[in-house]
Chains A and B, each alone.
Chain A
Amino acid sequence: MNLTLNIWRQANATAQGAMHTYQLGDVSEDMSFLEMLDVLNEQLLAADEDPIAFDHDCREGICGSCDLMINGQAHGPEVTTTCQLHMRSFKDGDNITIEPWRADAFPVIKDLMVDRSAFDRIIQSGGFISANTGSAPEANAAPIQRDKALRAFNMATCIGCGACVAACPNGSASLFMGAKITQLGLLPQGQPERDSRVIGMVGQHDAEGFGGCTNIGECTAACPKEIPLDVISQLNKDLRTAIKNGH
């Protein structure tokens, strides 16, 4: 198929960016979206044009590196990561617009790459269970109800890609936080730090410049791992409880 690609180009964090248009032919439907960009980049290099910078690594939907806004949708038209999106989702003659994640807390580094280190700092502020190496009790000492364990697992499948933030009109990271808070809050090991966790994470979230949640639900619709919206209710509940408890 032949495609017209409108792509955001920006030389660095401080430079003014702009959309550029490229024509690409001979795209096979078996290609992944990123392989299509690889082909474009080889074509640009041959023409002495700087290749387009974008983040990607595992290309199997699990590392969370890839992060493209495709035709205005985070990760494009399918419920998956950009790297798992294949060109069979497009057709000959399509115009495709490709932009970086847009959010104050995710500044652009170059072209389609953004800085998501704010997520790391949110985790530093409480997204863990304190268990020093070597101090753990026998693993089967505390059985965990199977449905709780399963729900904890489902929330833990978040890959930290940031699609929820990019999709949210407020640029909120509540879905990202809610997934972690729900996961750890379901487990007996997660109880001792439950209050301090939510207080710490929410404080850092706000300090990073992420917006507040107004229950729009774009985040969960964009999430490639289908983290449900109710984790935000859990987040709010945990926050209320923590405040009531005097935090």
Chain B
Amino acid sequence: MASTLDPSGTVATNTAATQTSDDAHGYYTPGEPLVDTNAPTGPIADRWTNRKMDNRLVNPSNRRKLDVIIVGTGLAGGAAAATLGEAGYNVKSFCYQDSPRRAHSIAAQGGINAAKNYKEDGDSTYRLFYDTVKGGDYRSRESNVYRLAEVSANIIDQCVAQGVPFAREYGGLLDNRSFGGVQVSRTFYARGQTGQQLLIGAYQALERQVAAGTVTTYTRHEMLELVMVDGKARGIIARDMVTGAIETHLADVVVLASGGYGNVFYLSTNAMGCNVTATWRAHRKGAYMANPCYTQIHPTCIPVSGDHQSKLTLMSEGLRNDGRIWVPKKKEDCDKDPRDIPEEDRDYYLERIYPSFGNLVPRDIASRQAKNMCDEGRGVGPVVGDFRRGVYLDFADAIKRLGKDGIEEKYDNLLDMYERITGENPYEVPMRIYPAVHYVMGGLWVDYNLESNLEGLFVTGEANFSDHGANRLGASALMQGLADGYFVLPNTIREYLADGPFEKVSEDHPAVVEARTSVEARIDKLMSIKGNRSADSYHKELGLIMWEYCGMERSEDGLRKAIDMIRELKADFWTNLKVLGTADSLNQSLEKAGRVADFIELGELMCIDALNRRESCGGHFRAESQTDEGEALRHDDEFAYVAAWEFGGEGGQPVLHKEDLIYTAIEMKQRSYK
């Protein structure tokens, strides 16, 4: 596939948006427009190559004098720490887990995309770029996405060299499968544990650098503040979660690779410890938070079973390759044994509504249609709340076609996990699935070099906003994490570090002392409220508000209501929170309280962002903006922009900066998967 557009990269295919609606009036302050001054120009296929050439070099003997802090050891952070260590920089790597190997990238199941075109099915860098921009509903930056597609092939080479055991064909060559939202097979996988295998690869590379002395790891450490000195990010304040000690770590540059904030919904597929604190603390120090309302609700998760539930478990989207999704045509069949419902009484609704993509439509569409079926009263499984929240994912046809062994080989661990959680055997009874929060496309704003608006603060992986627009395609998170970590950041950070080493900062510098004191004061405050409610109870309540009003469907009235509720919740939190124990020892309740406090503030901003964006795009569905057929309706003329929010001060209103999205290599179209 080649673009038929003007290849010079100078002819725009769209014009800048002008917003006429103002739903969030009174909740925010309009700010100056935002421009990525580091955006590349020229033909899109040359932009990254030229940028790598243009970025200055750092002499190997200077690298060891440059200190780099990296927060997070998932694919984006772990890969970056390993690569920068190999290059000879002095890296300090932080994670809240007891080992870098446990970062939540490990739970990614399905696979990683790469434009290798091993299947000779018409794939190319341009097509991967095209699919990703389209899948993101034209709300991502084209230069960033093209670069992502470009380096995707290098990632596979790198991982194989490290010994990552991808699935192979009988001839010994790498196997691929297809994934939602695309019509080629470009997904590399390691059964249903691709994230684990890629992360262990990055982890081993990282530990190798620990042995080499270039990387120091700080496990069971949580970043609680960013240190800004003379307008530059120069370090972090972290808490040693075992001793409770508040530590100051200073450096020449700070990289946040701390993951996404899906746990703002309480129930999500994220790990229990995933949190927004690192990025939210940076936001409060001036870093812009971009498109916070863009949330991905994954269509294939195990449904909620009761109030005690602490997390939701994903069943890889890869299952949609072989499973068929259906609900009963008749409401009265919903509580029957699904095996007793004859074929003619089943509604394979995705195949019916989207004949060309069928069960492989993008995640946002599959999720919303599942919700629609359940809202119509045709959901299956136990009644939770006031209706049945589940649809069937049925392997009966695939078992006929591939045999039970064939399915086992492809998905064994997933189907076992399903049986353990639900007590039902998916080889005999269709699985029940329901959408759950899985990933956030929003995150800290970064320029093309992955640098935030704060000088010296870089943001990679899910923690930044840059590559997935309003919806991420399956198998693209692993691609972005490793692209950022192995290939993009190590190249762009050079340009910044070429000006270093910067003048050493003392721990007595007033800005450092201020950061440290503010952390201590906040912990003292959390410990001293001595109220009656646990942090967990606030988290649950926040999650219910977010899921109800800022989940799969959002409306003007609902969002206003949610903002009021969150503000009340925040006030109650700071007067009625209960944390036992002491701050100077291991205290999991205190850790949780700090994270929930930040989630509450984030939740409010997400609702304001969703309220402002009176259009439907990708994972953001506004009830007021849909087609006659109920599909998402974008308003490019008003909203083809990145919403970058600046912290407005304690009790103040957030300031909205808009970065126009202008395309040259692709034309914006209303998405159609029919």
Are the C-beta atoms of A57 and B207 separated by less than 8 Å?
Answer: no
Q: A63: CB under 8 A from chain B?
A: yes
Which residues in B have their C-beta under 8 angstroms from that of A46?
534
Which residues in B have their C-beta under 8 angstroms from that of A53?
586, 588
Q: A23: CB under 8 A from chain B?
A: no
**A106 CB to nearest B CB, Å:** 11
**B245 CB to nearest A CB, Å:** 13
Residue of A nearest to B302 (CB): A60
B200-218 CB mask vs A (1 if < 8 Å, else 0) is 1001110110110000010
Which residues in A have their C-beta under 8 angstroms from that of B490?
133
Q: B666: CB under 8 A from chain A?
A: no
**B573 CB to nearest A CB, Å:** 15
Q: B193: CB under 8 A from chain A?
A: yes
Are the C-beta atoms of B271 and A84 separated by less than 8 Å?
Answer: no
Are the C-beta atoms of B586 and A12 separated by less than 8 Å?
Answer: yes
Which residues in B have their C-beta under 8 angstroms from that of A189?
160-163
Are the C-beta atoms of B193 and A157 separated by less than 8 Å?
Answer: yes
Q: How far is the CA of A136 from the CA of B157 in the complex (A)?
A: 6
Given A50-B580, A133-B487, also A144-B168 (CB < 8 A): yes
Are the C-beta atoms of A59 and B217 separated by less than 8 Å?
Answer: no
Segment touching A, from B12-20, B97-105, B136-144, B495-503: B97-105
- Residue among A30, A34, A45, A60 making CB contact with B580, cutoff 8 Å: A45
- Residue among B107, B171, B269, B588 making CB contact with A63, cutoff 8 Å: B107
Q: B306: CB under 8 A from chain A?
A: yes
Interface size class of A (residues with CB under 8 A): 35 or more
Which residues in A have their C-beta under 8 angstroms from that of B161?
129, 131, 135-137, 139, 189
Are the C-beta atoms of A88 and B423 separated by less than 8 Å?
Answer: yes
Q: B191: CB under 8 A from chain A?
A: yes
Q: A234: CB under 8 A from chain B?
A: no
Are the C-beta atoms of B581 and A50 separated by less than 8 Å?
Answer: yes
Q: B37: CB under 8 A from chain A?
A: no
Are the C-beta atoms of A57 and B169 separated by less than 8 Å?
Answer: no
Q: A18: CB under 8 A from chain B?
A: no
Given A140-B173, A143-B171, A144-B168, also A123-B204 (CB < 8 A): yes
Q: How far is the CA of A12 from the CA of B581 in the complex (A)?
A: 12
Q: Point out which of A60, A86, A136, A145 has the most chain B C-beta atoms below 10 A from its C-beta.
A: A60
Which residues in B have their C-beta under 8 angstroms from that of A78?
420
Q: B196: CB under 8 A from chain A?
A: yes
Given A59-B272, A123-B207, A153-B191, also A117-B99 (CB < 8 A): yes
B571-585 CB mask vs A (1 if < 8 Å, else 0) is 000000010110001
Q: B339: CB under 8 A from chain A?
A: no
Q: Which positions 142-201 of chain B face chain A at CB distance < 8 Å?
A: 154, 156-163, 165-174, 190-191, 193, 195-197, 200
- Residue among A11, A31, A146, A183 making CB contact with B163, cutoff 8 Å: A183
Are the C-beta atoms of B169 and A38 separated by less than 8 Å?
Answer: no
Residue of B nearest to A26 (CB): B308
Q: How far is the CA of A143 from the CA of B174 in the complex (A)?
A: 8
- Residue among A51, A136, A190 making CB contact with B154, cutoff 8 Å: A136
Are the C-beta atoms of B98 and A145 separated by less than 8 Å?
Answer: no
Q: How far is the CA of A78 from the CA of B421 in the complex (A)?
A: 13
B528-542 CB mask vs A (1 if < 8 Å, else 0) is 000000101100000
Are the C-beta atoms of B589 and A51 separated by less than 8 Å?
Answer: yes
Residue of A nearest to B82 (CB): A133
Are the C-beta atoms of A59 and B157 separated by less than 8 Å?
Answer: no
Q: How far is the CA of A42 from the CA of B568 in the complex (A)?
A: 23
Are the C-beta atoms of A51 and B168 separated by less than 8 Å?
Answer: no
Given A55-B98, A86-B420, A143-B173, also A12-B163 (CB < 8 A): no
Q: A113: CB under 8 A from chain B?
A: yes
Q: Point out which of A57, A65, A152 has the most chain B C-beta atoms below 10 A from its C-beta.
A: A57
Are the C-beta atoms of A153 and B165 separated by less than 8 Å?
Answer: yes
Q: B486: CB under 8 A from chain A?
A: yes
Are the C-beta atoms of A28 and B207 separated by less than 8 Å?
Answer: no
Q: A62: CB under 8 A from chain B?
A: yes
Residue of B nearest to A122 (CB): B207
**B309 CB to nearest A CB, Å:** 7
A166-191 CB mask vs B (1 if < 8 Å, else 0) is 00000000000000000110010110
Which residues in A have their C-beta under 8 angstroms from that of B169?
146
Are the C-beta atoms of B417 and A61 separated by less than 8 Å?
Answer: yes
Are the C-beta atoms of B580 and A119 separated by less than 8 Å?
Answer: no
**B104 CB to nearest A CB, Å:** 6
Are the C-beta atoms of B162 and A48 separated by less than 8 Å?
Answer: no
A113-150 CB mask vs B (1 if < 8 Å, else 0) is 10111011001110111111111111110011110011
Q: Which positions 28-43 of chain A face chain B at CB distance < 8 Å?
A: 28, 30-32, 34-35, 38-39, 42
Which residues in A have their C-beta under 8 angstroms from that of B635?
none
**A236 CB to nearest B CB, Å:** 21
Are the C-beta atoms of A128 and B162 separated by less than 8 Å?
Answer: yes
Q: B62: CB under 8 A from chain A?
A: no
Residue of B nearest to A51 (CB): B589
Which residues in B have their C-beta under 8 angstroms from that of A157?
193, 196, 413
Q: B402: CB under 8 A from chain A?
A: no
Residue of B nearest to A161 (CB): B102
Are the C-beta atoms of B172 and A149 separated by less than 8 Å?
Answer: yes
Residue of A nearest to B582 (CB): A50
Q: A110: CB under 8 A from chain B?
A: yes
Given A140-B173, A183-B163, also A60-B313 (CB < 8 A): yes
Given A117-B219, A136-B160, also A146-B417 (CB < 8 A): no
Residue of A nearest to B196 (CB): A62
- Residue among B79, B310, B589 making CB contact with A59, cutoff 8 Å: B310
Q: How far is the CA of A12 from the CA of B582 in the complex (A)?
A: 12
Q: B311: CB under 8 A from chain A?
A: yes
Are the C-beta atoms of B308 and A59 separated by less than 8 Å?
Answer: no
Are the C-beta atoms of B308 and A31 separated by less than 8 Å?
Answer: yes
Which residues in A have their C-beta under 8 angstroms from that of B163?
129, 152, 183-184, 187, 189-190
Residue of B nearest to A184 (CB): B163
**B76 CB to nearest A CB, Å:** 13
**B206 CB to nearest A CB, Å:** 9
Given A28-B306, A62-B107, also A84-B171 (CB < 8 A): no
Q: How far is the CA of A60 from the CA of B537 in the complex (A)?
A: 22
Q: Which positions 300-353 of chain B face chain A at CB distance < 8 Å?
A: 305-306, 308-311, 313-314
Residue of B nearest to A85 (CB): B420
Are the C-beta atoms of B172 and A45 separated by less than 8 Å?
Answer: no
- Residue among A34, A57, A109 making CB contact with B242, cutoff 8 Å: A109
Q: A80: CB under 8 A from chain B?
A: yes
Which residues in A have their C-beta under 8 angstroms from that of B166?
149
Q: B118: CB under 8 A from chain A?
A: yes
Which residues in A have their C-beta under 8 angstroms from that of B193?
62, 157
**A152 CB to nearest B CB, Å:** 4
Residue of A nearest to B382 (CB): A30
Q: Which positions 95-132 of chain B face chain A at CB distance < 8 Å?
A: 97-104, 106-107, 116, 118
Q: A160: CB under 8 A from chain B?
A: yes
Q: B598: CB under 8 A from chain A?
A: no
Which residues in B have their C-beta under 8 angstroms from that of A131?
158, 161-162, 205
Are the C-beta atoms of B309 and A35 separated by less than 8 Å?
Answer: yes
Which residues in A have their C-beta under 8 angstroms from that of B406?
none
Are the C-beta atoms of B165 and A28 separated by less than 8 Å?
Answer: no
15 contacts between A and B (CB under 8 A): A30-B308, A32-B310, A35-B308, A35-B310, A38-B536, A51-B588, A59-B272, A78-B420, A124-B207, A124-B211, A133-B79, A133-B486, A137-B161, A140-B118, A156-B165
Sorted from nearest, which 4 A-B pairs have the closest CB atoms? Answer: A143-B172, A136-B161, A128-B204, A153-B165
- The interface of chain B, by Cβ under 8 A from chain A, is 79, 82-83, 86, 97-104, 106-107, 116, 118, 154, 156-163, 165-174, 190-191, 193, 195-197, 200, 203-205, 207-208, 210-211, 217, 219, 242, 269, 271-273, 305-306, 308-311, 313-314, 413, 417, 420-421, 423, 486-487, 490, 534, 536-537, 578, 580-581, 585-586, 588-589
- The interface of chain A, by Cβ under 8 A from chain B, is 11-12, 28, 30-32, 34-35, 38-39, 42, 45-46, 48-51, 53, 55-65, 78, 80, 84, 86, 88, 109-110, 113, 115-117, 119-120, 123-125, 127-140, 143-146, 149-150, 152-153, 156-157, 159-160, 183-184, 187, 189-190
